[in-house]
A and B are shown apart, each in its own frame.
Chain A
């Protein structure tokens, strides 16, 4: 190695000695402090005692002596004094030199940069974690909303099966429902000889027959713009002119009755085609919803009672209508007059029969 001029050598020596606060400890073969020198007070080494074991006095030397790997360099070690030093260990014959070079400023600089970098990285990691959490929370929310909306649709469909749509809407809006309807037609229909036949065919067949009858009643109600209000045993109650008023309610219900009678004939019950007794009457009624947990949309009034009485008085397969209904039907419907009959609670009533 080419030697530098003495002046440069001196300058470098002075520069390093002052800038890096060089200090040294000489360690003998017995691992004791043989000598110390340089800027020892800078590192808090002034009290280091010659002749005593190094590791007892310099805790950071624990485990490092004897050092199998020399020269050995440990950068940026913060000493108990608070100074940061680059430590160099190197051998010389039978002793080892421990050199201290101050690195406090360099450490502080590096720390500032590293602090910024790590804080940034931590923030990014945290952001990513939070985003993942947000994402999965959103996903869970979306799923439960889907479930909720499915449940809502089911509930809606069920409600619409029980109540007319416009009534259901008002009920959902928490309105009380009791409406006067001046002009509607009410129909009752039941199966002739139901009780006796039910006994002979058993419950399963009976249920199938009822199902067939009520399904036909539902289907035709939809087709003719009538509302099936309820079933009572084997009897079905249907109304026209509700919940929206219509002037041709009597005609609609008359058509309905004819079609219903025709439809059920196709099915047999205990060996015979199903036959109905049908009664219709027209007049004012009150319609409303009763109940809180199980809703029932129902009709009340004399019109309802009389329609029921007329139905009971009808012959098998007969559609029997009141005089009020016949007048509404007008001359287009040719009706057969019946003899005035005494009906319970209504006195003598004039009735007509819709032809087959």
Chain B
């Protein structure tokens, strides 16, 4: 059985739990419910040449209180970095978390998600910033857990990256 541990990383209220729910159960709720500790979900993903079970670790979001625990990431083979496109500071939060994880466990594949793309009128991330991140060779997606836009694409891409 092929299974891979994947960790959702990002600031608080960026939509990590909602993205997992959209990807695993195809549902979305407007109600915000903060995550404490970690919730674990599983989703089988069919790739062209194999099937892989993604074990998704939905970690508590990072904030000033610092509820993120790097120990939860042990054993992970890939990261989903999540940014809230309506809050500029959450990009820094996601990148800082990745640095902390890499310092502890070394570099690993990741996808970067700018979530809440449905909130166009409140969007604060300029296109050129996203282009610049893509030019680094990063896999960047503009997602909406509400509509489901690009959510599957992002997880499938990461699944193929961690099984290479």
Contact = CB atoms under 8 A, between A and B. Distances in A.
A69 interface: yes
Interface string A213-232: 00000000000000000000
Contacts of A77: 37-38, 40, 72
Nearest to A107: B36
A67 B122 CA distance: 44
Interface of A: 55-56, 59-60, 62-64, 67, 69, 72-80, 84, 103, 107, 110-111, 114-115, 117-119, 121-122, 125, 129
Given A59-B55, A79-B40, A107-B37, A64 B72 contact: no
Contacts of B34: 111, 114-115, 118
A62 B78 CA distance: 13
Contact of A118 (B4, B63, B72, B86): B63
5 contacts: A59-B42, A74-B72, A77-B40, A78-B38, A84-B37
Interface of B: 1, 3-5, 12-13, 32-40, 42, 53, 55, 57, 60-61, 63, 65, 67, 69, 71-72, 74-77, 86-87, 122
Contact of B36 (A60, A67, A114, A129): A114
A60 B74 contact: no
Contacts of B65: 114, 117
A103 B72 CA distance: 16
Label chain B's interface by main secondary structure: loop
A78 B37 CA distance: 8
Contacts of A129: 86, 122
B87 A125 contact: yes
A67 B37 CA distance: 20
Nearest to A110: B36
Contacts of A56: 1
Contact of B3 (A55, A64, A103): A55
A67 B12 CA distance: 29
A82 to B, nearest CB: 10
A180 to B, nearest CB: 61
Contacts of B63: 118, 121
A115 B71 CA distance: 23
Residue in A64, A76, A77 with the greatest tally of chain B CB atoms within 10 Å: A76
Contact of B39 (A73, A78, A119): A78
B107 to A, nearest CB: 16
Nearest to A79: B40
